[in-house]
């Protein structure tokens, strides 16, 4: 989407693996190529609010995790000034049917290392309170001291996609919360150029077992 103050609508129900009757979604909202310093508002279709999702400077790129209610399978987005390119990448959805439940955890570091343009696996299950049978996690991914401007990709182990979690400038640190499916208890990480320090702090997990309780 690229909108100048106007509302842009997006269909999520029935797309990208999201059930047609899903009441809400989890996903990343990214903003880039803005013509002014702006903030993005993402809301259920037909509803407007004063809540900003990410804010970003003119010409800069940034992304943020959101949890959003769907109305008729849709959400809407607009920027506060000028125009910007908006990208939304879904990472999960809510359903009234049987599925995985979420258990929050006290934040715990589960990965500390360097990422390059070559994929690196990170073991998550069994660390930081995440059980071996967890199907997905909520994890904050931090990037530090990148040697080049680029973006970081975090995906389920063995699966590569064109989805970027966060873009960053050379030498600048940044972080973003994400929801990620686990494959064999692992996820994978790589950057688009150069190398960077990567930290991952888990804050909860999804499991097919009965609803968990707060740990910490």
Stretch 166-170: mean pLDDT, rounded? 87
Name the pTM for this structure: 0.76
Which of 119, 84, 141 lies closest to 192, judged by CA? Answer: 119
- Could you tell me if 15 and 75 are in contact, meaning their C-beta atoms sit under 8 angstroms apart? no
Which tens digits make up the pLDDT trace of 124-151? 999 999 999 999 999 999 999 999 999 8
Across the chain, mean pLDDT equals: 84
Which tens digits make up the pLDDT trace of 21-52? 888 888 888 777 788 887 888 888 888 767 77
DSSP secondary structure letters along 107-167: EEEEEEEEE-SS-EEEE-TTSTT--TT--EEEEEEEEES-SSSEEEEEEETT---S--SEE
- Could you tell me if 111 and 198 are in contact, meaning their C-beta atoms sit under 8 angstroms apart? yes
**How confident is the model at residue 128, as a pLDDT?**
96
- Size of the chain, expressed as the number of residues it contains: 216
Report residue 150 as tokens.
Answer: 């680029």
Over its C-alpha atoms, the chain yields an Rg (Å, rounded) of: 17
Q: How far apart are CA 55 and CA 79, in angstroms?
A: 9
Within 10 A of 102 (CB to CB), how many other CB atoms are there? 15
- Could you tell me if 95 and 20 are in contact, meaning their C-beta atoms sit under 8 angstroms apart? no
Q: How far apart are CA 113 and CA 52, in angstroms?
A: 32
Q: How far apart are CA 102 and CA 207, in angstroms?
A: 7
Which tens digits make up the pLDDT trace of 53-79? 777 778 777 778 888 889 999 888 888
Q: How far apart are CA 151 and CA 38, in angstroms?
A: 21
């Amino acid at each position: 989407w690229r909108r100048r103050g106007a509302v842009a609508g997006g269909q999520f129900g029935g797309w990208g693996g999201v059930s047609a009757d899903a009441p809400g979604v989890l996903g990343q909202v990214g903003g880039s190529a803005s013509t002014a310093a702006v903030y993005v508002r993402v809301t259920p279709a037909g509803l407007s609010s004063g809540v900003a999702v990410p804010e970003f400077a003119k010409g800069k790129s940034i992304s943020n995790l959101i949890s959003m209610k769907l109305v008729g399978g849709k959400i809407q987005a607009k920027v506060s000034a000028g125009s910007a390119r908006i990208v939304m990448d879904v990472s999960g959805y809510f359903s009234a049917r049987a599925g995985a439940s979420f258990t929050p955890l006290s934040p715990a570091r589960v990965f500390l290392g360097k990422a390059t343009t070559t994929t690196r696996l990170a073991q998550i299950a069994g660390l930081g309170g995440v059980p071996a049978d967890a199907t997905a996690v909520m994890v904050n991914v931090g990037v530090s001291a990148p040697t080049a401007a680029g973006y970081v990709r975090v995906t389920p182990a063995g699966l590569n996609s064109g989805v970027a979690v966060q873009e960053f400038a050379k030498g600048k640190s940044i972080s973003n919360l994400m929801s990620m499916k686990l494959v064999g208890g692992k996820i994978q990480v790589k950057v688009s150029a150069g190398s960077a320090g990567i930290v991952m702090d888990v804050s909860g997990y999804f499991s097919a077992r009965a609803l968990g309780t707060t740990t910490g």
